[in-house]
Structure 1
Amino acid sequence: MTVKYPPDQIIIRPPVEAYSVLIAVTGGCSWNKCKFCGTYKGMYGTTQEYAIRPIEDVKKDIDQAAKYNYHGFPVFLAGGNPTSASTDYLVEIIKYVRIKLRKVQRVSCYSKALDVLRKSDEELEKLAEAGLDIVYMGLESGSNTVL
């Protein structure tokens, strides 16, 4: 039986991020065409359209995590590929995380390889300087037929 989750509750993360604070940055996946992946196309009983969340909403979630004393935990910026958002948007979020959630162990997120390639070296340096520590890039297939 498939459990039907509301679209805004579909959050996937790497197993190593099991105890991380999850902060939803994007919903869905900007690509969403891979034939092998049904995560945002109904696998959980509903679909989730790609969207970059308003920064005010993301900051409210970070404030909520701070309110419940999630200090010293790793933070995972959730969504199919948060790096599809602008660098300035991500830098603002990462800096806000680092200010509000003291002693964060690490900040990480998923990314599509093309989203990383679209960013300049300068933009990638800005993300690292802001405190983005790990970017998980899915290399699910080398076949253009299934991507």
Structure 2
Amino acid sequence: MSNPDHKHNEWSNSFWDCCSPFGTCCMSFWLPCCLHGKTHSRLDDPYLKEHSYCNGSCCLYTLTSYIGFHWVPLMMQRTKIRQRFGIDGSGCGDCCSACCCPCCVMMQNEKEVEVQCSRMGGLPGGYQAPGGMNYSAQ
């Protein structure tokens, strides 16, 4: 699902801007499967209301890590983020980034989804739910 009205063609955060926030940095280094799962959850639920660190995406990342292919789910997630938010790049660039520095990719993915969701009012597509109805007693 791409957003053709999206005018932002660059990543909000640099690829090498991977040391802040410190908590996310630590998570990408010591618990990468959890951060990968969190970013996946945020793509579907920006407010993380139904978020669980141990989800299917986390398990997929863990499984692929054991066989040396941790870069595949990272590359796929990065491509999905680029397409959804209209960020320039290519599949080859996503693959190279995911292979060379997975911690940096995880940080950039999480921070980008967080920024983009806040720009669009927290919900995919920019939709804001209307406020609740007020009834006055007469």
TM-score, structure 2 length as denominator? Answer: 0.27
Which structure shows the bigger proportion of residues in helix conformation?
2
Which structure shows the bigger proportion of residues in strand conformation?
1
Structure with higher Rg: it is 2
Whose RCO is larger (CA < 8 A, sep 6+)? 2
